[in-house]
Amino acid sequence: MNNYIYLSHNIIGELMYIFNNFIIYSVLGYILEIIISLIFNHNPSSGFMYGPYTPVYGIGICLIFSLFDKYKKIKPDFKKILVMFISSFILLTFLELIGGELLKLLYHIKLWDYTGLPLHLGKYISIEISTIWGIGTILIYLYLKPKTDKLAKKIPKWVTISILFIIIIDFIITNINLLKI
């Protein structure tokens, strides 16, 4: 019984840590999108939900962190960086494609369109953007993650649970409004 309680506590703690990273990077993704929109004179909005977060960034970075953690033993470092780049390039390209198609299919909205870029592959994939995501995630993992890890571990459980409920409520309201339920 003691082992079960200990194991259960570790699983809950790990899930809280992952969700806290999801929150942190969803908010940072939102801020990034707003800054990019302002720089390039686009409509300054990010994502399809109401809150100041863009979940696709949180989902993407949590997947990337999980994947990159498995590469720690790869040597030399150049080989590890190359594997990190290729895997993030592929994973995030796939995530953008799925995200774009799902938004179009479910909500009839298009939040991005790369057809104006020279190396686009349809509306939702661009070699240029995927390259930026690949390089960016490596830099985030190597330089920003150590700092955000400290923050993610310090967020009180009640704050994490409160934010989870806010995001769930936001998701429900967003779906009611977009699906006209």
d(CA 73, CA 22): 25
The confidence band for 2, taking pLDDT boundaries of 50, 70 and 90, is very low
β-bridge mates for residue 120, sequence order = 126
Question: Is 50 exceeded by the pLDDT of residue 130?
Answer: yes
Question: Is 60 exceeded by the pLDDT of residue 79?
Answer: yes
d(CA 32, CA 57): 10
d(CA 165, CA 181): 21
Question: Is 50 exceeded by the pLDDT of residue 95?
Answer: yes
- Residue range(s) defining the domain that contains residue 106: 2-54+61-179
Res 133: pLDDT: 94
pLDDT more than 90, % of the chain: 65
Res 53: pLDDT: 92
Instruction: Judge residue 125's burial from the number of C-beta atoms within 10 Å of its C-beta, 0-12 exposed, 13-18 middle, 19 or more buried.
Output: middle
Res 38: pLDDT: 85
Query: For the segment 7-61, what is each residue's pLDDT rounded down to a tens digit?
Result: 445 888 899 999 999 999 999 999 998 888 888 777 766 778 888 999 999 999 9
Query: For the segment 135-146, what is each residue's pLDDT rounded down to a tens digit?
Result: 999 999 999 999
Res 7: pLDDT: 42
Q: Name which of 46, 48, 50 is nearest 33 in CA terms.
A: 46
Total domains, the chain: 1
Average pLDDT, the chain: 89
Three-state SS letters, the chain: CHHHHHHHHHHHHHHHHHHHHHHHHHHHHHHHHHHHHHHCCCCCCCCCCCCCCCHHHHHHHHHHHHHHHCCCCCCCHHHHHHHHHHHHHHHHHHHHHHHHHHHHHHHCCCCCCCCCCCCECCCCCEHHHHHHHHHHHHHHHHHHHHHHHHHHHHCCHHHHHHHHHHHHHHHHHHHHHHHCC
